[in-house]
């Protein structure tokens, strides 16, 4: 049995950085990774997908360049082998950077293999037994594959496998109208593929307010994406060299099917029962406000604890754990204000409550909206789709939430995120003097238009 001061299981966006901090403190740490360092973000999520989004954006701009007085003769062709290679290069650079970083750390032992608990202080991997008084789980999540008729008879794609395509699908059917599915839907439409989105719920991006969901659908439809919502029955069948997707309202002749119906935590094969670690009914590890599980000496970070399926929330879990365990701080998970983005084009930046949530809270609220067509920078760039929306508490004057669907919305939202984290009231923000011409300069204007509802 090998002894360590800490064992980290999973090489995502929380565990490795916590391991590095502990090594800096002179601890002996084992980092166990089943497959690739970097987790979903580096290998199958943010980095490769946003690289693909950039390629799709370049194709879209080239096709529409004549609007800006730039004429490109001939057809805009897509070389998917180059597109794929570019995304893989970005991934490999990041992954190899982590490998090199850890190789230079005295006190860090990186082990590739599948870890399982033997007891609360002991794990086994590759036939070896390791023990430590502190064990951190950062095992991430994977795509959910629903039990639909005929699904096992087809070669479907997931968000992990689709990034390796080096040929262009004729017709891509996307099963699931949430964030992952919508990004791939627009991306492949811009590459030149026919795309259909099939969603069980009544609207796309069901977490969002109805006006945001409707605007997202308008953006996608304007680019020729076929959208089906409220679909109750879906079945698949092979048809020649393609796939027939049959629903209660349509029959789609697809060449490829992407299953994007959510993700589930990688907790079912860790031997959590042997350690006594409790999970909820969905498999997420139950943690307290400081990310500790019910078992002393075991913590769960990142996607597997169900408190955020994002790289930035996972990294924030590392920050909370490191501050509390290594720096004598008292940081809490409940202090986090959730923010995220949907990387269609234009992007959606979101923070805090939706209008629906704010109304349900019983507060007296104020709301302001402004179409992007009334934003100077958007008009100058010729990108006026979407709108801004801010929700505030009428009594405390605090901002409760915001949504910015529009050009640079994923960046502009940070002005609101920073204000909310600082506890700044919206009247104070109205007196800022933003730079012109930017999209962010409209934040004080939107705040000035807040009206009671």
Rounded Cα distance, 413 and 419, in Å = 10
Q: What order of strands is seen across the sheet that includes strand 122-125?
A: 2-3, 128-131, 122-125, 116-119
Beta bridge partners of 196: 173, 226
In CATH, the architecture of 151-261 is 3-Layer(bba) Sandwich (3.50)
436 classed as catalytic: yes
Beta bridge partners of 2: 130
| 329-359: pLDDT as tens digits | 999 999 999 999 999 999 999 999 999 999 9
Rounded Cα distance, 352 and 404, in Å = 12
Dihedral (CA of 404, 407, 408, 412) sign: negative
Ligand-binding annotation for 180, yes or no, is: yes
Ligand-binding annotation for 50, yes or no, is: yes
Ligand-binding annotation for 208, yes or no, is: no
Could you tell me the pLDDT band of residue 282, with boundaries at 50, 70 and 90? very high
Rounded Cα distance, 91 and 161, in Å = 14
Q: Cβ distance 271 to 277 under 8 Å?
A: no
Ligand-binding annotation for 203, yes or no, is: no
* Residue 108 clears pLDDT 90, i.e. is over it: yes
Average confidence score pLDDT of the chain: 97
Per DSSP, the residues of 257-279 read EEE-S-EEES-TTS-HHHHT--B
Could you tell me the pLDDT band of residue 375, with boundaries at 50, 70 and 90? very high
pTM: 0.96
Of the candidates 114, 164, 171, 436, the residue annotated as catalytic is 436
Q: Where are the domains of the chain?
A: 2-142+264-335, 151-261, 339-452
Rounded Cα distance, 354 and 46, in Å = 24
Alpha-carbon separation of residue 163 from 44, 135, 167, 219, 394 (angstroms): 7, 32, 11, 23, 46
Ligand-binding annotation for 127, yes or no, is: no
Q: Cβ distance 189 to 223 under 8 Å?
A: yes
Ligand-binding annotation for 147, yes or no, is: no
* Residue 132 clears pLDDT 90, i.e. is over it: yes
Could you tell me the pLDDT band of residue 249, with boundaries at 50, 70 and 90? confident
Q: Cβ distance 142 to 304 under 8 Å?
A: no
Ligand-binding annotation for 284, yes or no, is: no
* Residue 184 clears pLDDT 90, i.e. is over it: yes
Rounded Cα distance, 181 and 79, in Å = 22
Maximum C-alpha span of the chain: 70
In CATH, the architecture of 339-452 is 2-Layer Sandwich (3.30)
Beta bridge partners of 285: 279
| 286-315: pLDDT as tens digits | 999 999 999 999 999 999 999 999 999 999
* Residue 262 clears pLDDT 90, i.e. is over it: yes
CA nearest neighbour of 403 among 176, 210, 128, 130: 210
CA nearest neighbour of 149 among 254, 235, 233: 235
Q: For residues 191-199, give the mean pLDDT.
A: 98
CA nearest neighbour of 193 among 48, 342, 56: 56
CA nearest neighbour of 35 among 3, 12, 60: 12
CATH H superfamily, domain 2-142+264-335: FAD/NAD(P)-binding domain (3.50.50.60)
Ligand-binding annotation for 291, yes or no, is: no
426 DSSP assignment: H
């Amino acid at each position: 049995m090998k002894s360590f001061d800490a064992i980290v299981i999973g090489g995502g966006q929380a565990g490795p950085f916590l391991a590095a901090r502990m090594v800096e403190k002179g601890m002996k740490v084992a980092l166990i990774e089943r497959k690739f360092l970097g987790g979903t973000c580096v290998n199958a999520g943010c980095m490769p997908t946003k690289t693909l989004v950039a390629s799709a954006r370049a194709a879209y701009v080239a096709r529409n360049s004549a609007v800006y007085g730039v004429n490109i003769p001939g057809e805009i062709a897509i070389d998917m082998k180059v597109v794929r290679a570019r995304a893989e290069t970005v991934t490999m650079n990041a992954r190899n950077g982590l490998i090199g970083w850890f190789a230079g750390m005295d006190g860090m032992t990186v082990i590739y293999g599948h870890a399982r608990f033997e007891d609360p202080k002991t794990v086994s991997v590759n036939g070896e037994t390791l023990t430590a008084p502190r064990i951190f789980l950062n095992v991430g999540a994977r795509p959910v594959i629903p039990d639909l008729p005929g699904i096992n008879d087809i070669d479907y794609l997931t968000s992990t496998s689709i990034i390796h395509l080096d040929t262009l699908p004729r017709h891509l059917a996307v099963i699931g109208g949430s964030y992952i599915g919508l990004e791939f839907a627009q991306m492949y439409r811009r590459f030149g593929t026919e795309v259909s989105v099939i969603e069980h719920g009544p609207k796309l991006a069901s977490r969002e307010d109805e006006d945001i969901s409707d605007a997202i659908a308008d953006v996608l439809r304007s680019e020729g994406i076929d959208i089906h919502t409220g679909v109750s029955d879906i079945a698949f069948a092979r048809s020649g060299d393609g796939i027939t997707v049959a629903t209660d309202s349509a029959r789609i002749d697809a060449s490829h099917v992407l299953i994007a119906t959510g993700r589930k935590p990688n907790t079912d094969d860790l031997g959590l029962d042997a350690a006594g670690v409790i999970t909820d009914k969905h498999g997420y590890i139950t943690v307290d406000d400081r990310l500790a599980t019910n078992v002393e000496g075991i913590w769960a970070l990142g996607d597997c604890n169900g408190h955020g399926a994002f790289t930035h929330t996972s990294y924030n879990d590392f920050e909370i754990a490191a501050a509390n365990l290594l720096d004598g701080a008292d940081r809490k998970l409940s202090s986090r204000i959730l923010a995220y983005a949907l990387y269609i084009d234009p992007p959606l930046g979101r923070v805090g409550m939706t209008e629906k949530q704010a109304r349900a809270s019983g507060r007296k609220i104020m709301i302001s909206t402004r179409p992007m067509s009334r934003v100077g920078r958007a008009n100058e760039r010729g990108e006026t789709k979407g709108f801004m929306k801010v929700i505030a508490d009428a009594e405390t004057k605090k901002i409760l939430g915001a949504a910015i669907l529009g050009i640079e919305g994923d960046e502009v939202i940070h002005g609101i995120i920073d204000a909310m984290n600082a506890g700044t009231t919206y009247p104070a923000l109205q007196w800022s003097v933003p730079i012109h011409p930017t999209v962010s300069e409209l934040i004080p204007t939107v705040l000035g238009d807040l009206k009671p509802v």
